[in-house]
Amino acid sequence: MRTEGTSCGVRAARSIFCLLLLLGVACSVRIEPGHSGILEESDSEHKSTDQIELLHGKVFYNPFTEDVHTFSHAMHRVRWGFDDDNSSKSKEIIFSSYGGAIVKSAVEIGYTYKPGRIPYVFVTLRNTKGMVVEDYMWRSTHEAIGQCAAMLPVEAIYGSQKTDITACALEKLRREPFIGDNFELAYL
């Protein structure tokens, strides 16, 4: 009888060990090289940028009360174009020329986060659905292209000054305080 009790104890210990191992794996995330992470407690109030610590490597967290958001330090390439399947999700840039012609354009932008500015971007653009960096960039790009194209006739927009519009819009985006302070823009 003593051997049966010992084997039951060993099985129970193995089961507890496996359960703890599974729990440890389920409650951790690895933040890959070239990325930073921010641990957000869903029950707490939003933190200021001074209180946010950038995380790297293996992070243990409570999946019921905390979320881990990761940010890549690599180039982000975002393309807004035509979506024929669902026009409500279409994100092309629509703007008017000097003469009032409506122009639709597919646009691509490349950007990276400036070093140390990820907490500020997180606090500023955070909403309940997640990060809205791409939406903010789309609105800002749409506005900049619209301002630059509004001065040109439609012939110039489709002709020789097409690159002038993107150069003008890129410069306007770089001069916008939030974008200029937090992002490096590579191209438009």
Last residue of a domain, one of 72, 93, 128: 72
Q: What is the CATH number of the domain that holds 115?
A: 3.30.479.30
Q: How much is the pLDDT for 158?
A: 79
- Does residue 98 sit in the same domain as residue 149? yes
Q: Are 151 and 80 within one domain?
A: yes
Nearest to 183 by CA among 133, 112, 120: 112
Pair 124, 56 in one domain: no
7 and 94, same domain (yes or no) = no
Task: Flag residues of the chain having pLDDT under 50.
Answer: 1
Asked whether residue 43 falls in the same domain as residue 89, the answer is no
Q: Same domain, yes or no, for 100 and 173? A: yes
Measure Cα distances from 69 to 20, 54, 135 in Å: 24, 10, 17
Q: How many domains does the chain have?
A: 2
Tell me, what's the pLDDT at 25? 61
Whether 84 and 47 map to the same domain: the answer is no
Per-residue pLDDT at 184: 92
| CA 137 – CA 87 distance, rounded (Å) | 20
Please tell me whether residues 67 and 96 are part of one structural domain: no
pLDDT reported for residue 164: 84
| pLDDT at position 124 | 84
Instruction: Tell me, yes or no, whether 166 and 105 share the same domain.
Output: yes
What is the per-residue pLDDT for 183?
A: 92
d(CA 121, CA 130): 12
Domain range spanning residue 67?
A: 2-72
